[in-house]
């Protein structure tokens, strides 16, 4: 973790150095001024200073105060400002890391937790690198300088006046431990609360459809209350810190006035010296009062840094292969599954002994019951998950050897669950080819048979979809997703149940367009409707992760197995629809 903090701070070492130098300069001056005041007061009371002398001393003090103001400004800019820059860097690093983490990581995380990391934990690190650094240097330098000057003024007065301080340090350390523990609970409850809100807003349709608003509000109320109680438990202790420290601080001053006053009356201490002494003590008390707060801040930040460090240490499973982009930036589309077996972490085998050769340019299909492993095949081809070595080959090479960019540039997918971003329709279609000309976007939308729908929207291709935009129907969304895959014009195209939300006539139209424009392409269609795949070159039927039938449509119908039965049922359904 230390290395992690060092890497964050390293590029800004110079800025920190300037800021800390400015801080030390200010503290040095602040410790120097009481001496000047002492000389002036002693000079006045002993009649050694005339009005010109007083003016000279006062001008010095004024000049130094001005320098201190400049110094304070500099350390604010150089330390606090830099901590903001590091916060910005850290957010960016975290986001980049989120983008590289594999699907398996996200399958095991709650979005709410990740959001909490990105906001609270990054903020806590900023506080440590801003206020934390400042207060640490401030405390060390001011306490040390004041202590030396106090000892120089009067050693016995120093010892008496500092007697109550160990109590203060003990109280600070003790309370900050409790605060640290309670802060961790606050973080957990906050993550839980944000998670609940995020999940409920995303799933609002299901909540409403099942009439669960009341129950969900109740759940939220419980989470909200727990968060509130955790906050209160923390604040109760945190707020004890200041009054207690001030009490101890006041006790030290009482000792100084009482004992120091008697020394002045005895004549062993000059009045100016007592004044300077109280000022040194004042200089020292403020950072001491802040010690508890500082421990508390550093403790909280440490917890946040640990959580972030764990997040950054999460393994990126799906990585680039050993071949460089320049060697392999194009693939032609020969695919081979060679005795492929696969299981998700903590799951049984999902695919077993898959042997299948897909020739470049062929149109093939996968059918099978839900859960038989069809989507898993598509995900392995896109390397959302890692297959075992040498079990999945593309153009004769192990898929694991390819750079991810090559794979994803050359393989387009229309996933089962279409996700459109809160952007314009044009931006959504051009998502995988951001430099696409508008004519390309139009052509892709025509092939996906969604052009006319788009032209009916008030702002056509510039219509915003998603949050605060128009709502597309399931079929329209699906076709925008098809256009988004087609515009990439990649040699391999995977359609994962991508025509389920369109009617049969639209489906025919899209398939005809696809056939006309993808002669050279390898197309893999995962489908439930046999009409979608009737003229495919090769069809496999999956059941519980195994291939149970394979061949062309006619061959499979003649086989009289699962496929033939599925076909018979669908024909029957069509006939019923016609007569109805």
Indicate the residue among 223 and 399 with the shorter CB distance to ligand ADP.
Answer: 399
Which segment (1-9, 208-216, 342-350, 402-410) binds ligand ADP by CB under 6 A? Answer: 342-350
Indicate the residue among 248 and 526 with the shorter CB distance to ligand ADP.
Answer: 526
Cα-based angle 140, 145, 151 (whole degrees, multiple of 5): 125
Which segment (88-96, 217-225, 252-260, 343-351) binds ligand ADP by CB under 6 A? Answer: 343-351
Cα-based angle 306, 290, 239 (whole degrees, multiple of 5): 85
Q: Which of 538, 535, 451, 129 has its CA nearest to residue 301?
A: 129
Indicate the residue among 63 and 371 with the shorter CB distance to ligand ADP.
Answer: 371
Q: How far is the CB of 399 from ligand ADP (least distance, A)?
A: 17
Distance of CA 287 to the CA centre of its chain: 34
Measured CA to CA, the distance from residue 359 to residue 115 in angstroms comes to: 44
Q: How far is the CB of 564 from ligand ADP (least distance, A)?
A: 19
Residues 73-112 that bind ligand ADP (CB under 6 A): 107
Residue 543 Rama label (left phi>0; alpha psi -120 to 50; beta): beta
Which segment (32-40, 191-199, 344-352, 529-537) binds ligand ADP by CB under 6 A? Answer: 344-352
Indicate the residue among 370 and 554 with the shorter CB distance to ligand ADP.
Answer: 370
Q: How far is the CB of 547 from ligand ADP (least distance, A)?
A: 13
Q: How far is the CB of 559 from ligand ADP (least distance, A)?
A: 20
Six-digit token string for 472: 């597309």
Q: How far is the CB of 518 from ligand ADP (least distance, A)?
A: 23
Three-state secondary structure call for residue 365:
strand
Q: How far is the CB of 499 from ligand ADP (least distance, A)?
A: 15
Indicate the residue among 117 and 374 with the shorter CB distance to ligand ADP.
Answer: 374
Q: How far is the CB of 99 from ligand ADP (least distance, A)?
A: 19
Instruction: Using CB under 6 A, pick the residue from 51, 326, 347, 439 that binds ligand ADP.
Output: 347
Six-digit token string for 525: 């269609």
Instruction: Using CB under 6 A, pick the residue from 60, 253, 344, 562 that binds ligand ADP.
Output: 344
Cβ atoms within 10 Å, residue 506: 17
Cβ-proximal residues to 375 (8 Å cutoff; 6+ apart), any chain: 416, 496, 526
Q: How far is the CB of 347 from ligand ADP (least distance, A)?
A: 4
User: String of b and e for 523-549 (b: at least 16 CB within 10 Å)?
Assistant: bbbbbbbbebbeebebbbbbbebbbeb
Residues 352-381 that bind ligand ADP (CB under 6 A): 368, 370-376
User: String of b and e for 97-110 (b: at least 16 CB within 10 Å)?
Assistant: ebeebbebbeeeeb
Indicate the residue among 216 and 353 with the shorter CB distance to ligand ADP.
Answer: 353
Indicate the residue among 90 and 540 with the shorter CB distance to ligand ADP.
Answer: 540
User: String of b and e for 195-222 (b: at least 16 CB within 10 Å)?
Assistant: bbebebeeeeeebeeeeeeeebeeeeee
Indicate the residue among 182 and 374 with the shorter CB distance to ligand ADP.
Answer: 374
Q: How far is the CB of 103 from ligand ADP (least distance, A)?
A: 7
| Position 326 contacts ligand ADP (CB under 6 A) | no
Instruction: Using CB under 6 A, pick the residue from 279, 350, 367, 380 that binds ligand ADP.
Output: 350
Q: How far is the CB of 446 from ligand ADP (least distance, A)?
A: 29
Q: How far is the CB of 500 from ligand ADP (least distance, A)?
A: 12
Indicate the residue among 189 and 497 with the shorter CB distance to ligand ADP.
Answer: 497
Indicate the residue among 33 and 349 with the shorter CB distance to ligand ADP.
Answer: 349
Indicate the residue among 350 and 557 with the shorter CB distance to ligand ADP.
Answer: 350
Residues contacting ligand ADP: total by CB under 6 A: 12
Which helix (H) or strand (E) covers residue 546, if one does? strand 546-551
Cα-based angle 284, 290, 291 (whole degrees, multiple of 5): 90
Distance of CA 79 to the CA centre of its chain: 24
- Residue tagged 């424009």 (tokens): 517
DSSP 474-543: HHHHHHHHHHHHHTT--SEEEEESTTTTS-HHHHHHHHHHHHHH-TTSEEEEE-S-GGGTTT-SEEEEEE
Indicate the residue among 51 and 108 with the shorter CB distance to ligand ADP.
Answer: 108
Measured CA to CA, the distance from residue 110 to residue 106 in angstroms comes to: 8
Q: How far is the CB of 393 from ligand ADP (least distance, A)?
A: 20
Q: How far is the CB of 413 from ligand ADP (least distance, A)?
A: 13
Indicate the residue among 347 and 439 with the shorter CB distance to ligand ADP.
Answer: 347
Measured CA to CA, the distance from residue 125 to residue 9 in angstroms comes to: 11
CA dihedral angle for residue 291, residue 295, residue 300, residue 304, rounded to 10 degrees: 120
Q: Which residues bind ligand ADP (CB under 6 A)?
A: 107, 344, 347, 350, 368, 370-376
């Amino acid at each position: 973790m230390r290395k992690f903090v060092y890497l964050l701070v390293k590029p800004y070492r110079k800025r920190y150095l300037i800021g800390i130098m400015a801080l030390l300069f200010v503290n040095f001056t602040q410790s120097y001024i009481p001496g000047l005041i002492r000389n002036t007061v002693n000079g006045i009371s002993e009649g050694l200073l005339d009005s010109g002398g007083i003016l000279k001393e006062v001008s010095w003090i004024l000049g130094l105060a001005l320098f201190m103001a400049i110094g304070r400004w500099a350390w604010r800019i150089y330390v606090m400002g830099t901590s903001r820059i590091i916060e910005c860097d850290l957010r960016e690093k975290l986001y980049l890391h989120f983008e590289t983490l594999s699907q398996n990581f996200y399958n095991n995380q709650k979005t709410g937790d990740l959001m909490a990391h990105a906001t609270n934990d990054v903020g806590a690190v900023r506080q440590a690198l801003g206020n934390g650094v400042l207060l640490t240097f401030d405390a060390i330098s001011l306490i040390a300088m004041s202590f030396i000057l106090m000892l120089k003024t009067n050693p016995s007065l120093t010892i008496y006046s500092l007697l109550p301080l160990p109590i203060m340090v003990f109280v600070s350390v003790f309370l900050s431990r409790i605060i640290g523990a309670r802060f961790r609970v606050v973080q957990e409850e906050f993550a839980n609360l944000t998670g609940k809100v995020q999940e409920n807003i995303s799933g609002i349709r299901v909540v409403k459809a099942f009439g669960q608003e009341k129950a969900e509000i109740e759940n939220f109320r419980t989470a909200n209350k727990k968060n509130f109680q955790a906050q209160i438990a923390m604040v109760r202790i945190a707020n004890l810190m200041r009054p207690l420290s001030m009490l101890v601080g006041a006790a030290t001053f009482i000792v100084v006035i009482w004992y120091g006053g008697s020394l002045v009356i005895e004549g062993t201490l000059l009045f100016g010296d007592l004044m300077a002494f109280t000022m040194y003590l004042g200089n020292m008390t403020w950072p001491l009062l802040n010690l508890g707060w500082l421990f508390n801040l550093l403790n909280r930040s440490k917890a946040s840094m640990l959580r972030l460090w764990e997040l950054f240490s999460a393994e990126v499973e799906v990585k680039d292969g050993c071949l460089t982009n320049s060697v392999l930036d194009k693939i032609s589309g020969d695919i081979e599954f060679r005795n492929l077996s696969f299981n998700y972490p903590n799951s049984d085998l999902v695919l077993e002994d898959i042997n299948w050769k897909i020739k470049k340019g062929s149109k093939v299909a996968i059918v099978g019951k839900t859960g038989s492993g069809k989507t898993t095949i598509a995900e392995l081809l896109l390397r959302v998950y890692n297959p075992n070595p040498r079990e999945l080959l593309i153009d004769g090479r192990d898929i694991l050897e390819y750079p991810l960019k090559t794979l994803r540039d050359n393989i387009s997918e229309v996933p089962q669950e279409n996700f459109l971003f809160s952007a314009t329709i044009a931006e959504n279609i051009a998502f995988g080819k951001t430099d696409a000309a508008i004519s390309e976007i139009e052509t892709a939308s025509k092939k996906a048979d969604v052009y006319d729908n788009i032209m009916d929207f008030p702002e056509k291709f510039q219509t915003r979809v998603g949050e605060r935009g128009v709502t597309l129907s399931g079929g329209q969304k699906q076709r925008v997703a098809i256009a988004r895959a087609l515009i990439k014009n990649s040699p391999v195209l995977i359609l994962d149940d991508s025509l389920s939300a369109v009617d049969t006539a639209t489906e025919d139209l899209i398939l005809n367009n696809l056939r006309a424009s993808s002669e050279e392409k390898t197309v893999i269609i995962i489908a439930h409707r046999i009409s979608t795949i009737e003229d495919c070159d090769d069809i496999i039927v999956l059941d519980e992760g195994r291939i149970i039938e394979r061949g062309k449509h006619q061959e499979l119908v003649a086989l009289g197995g699962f496929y033939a039965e599925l076909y018979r049922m669908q024909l029957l359904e069509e006939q019923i629809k016609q007569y109805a």
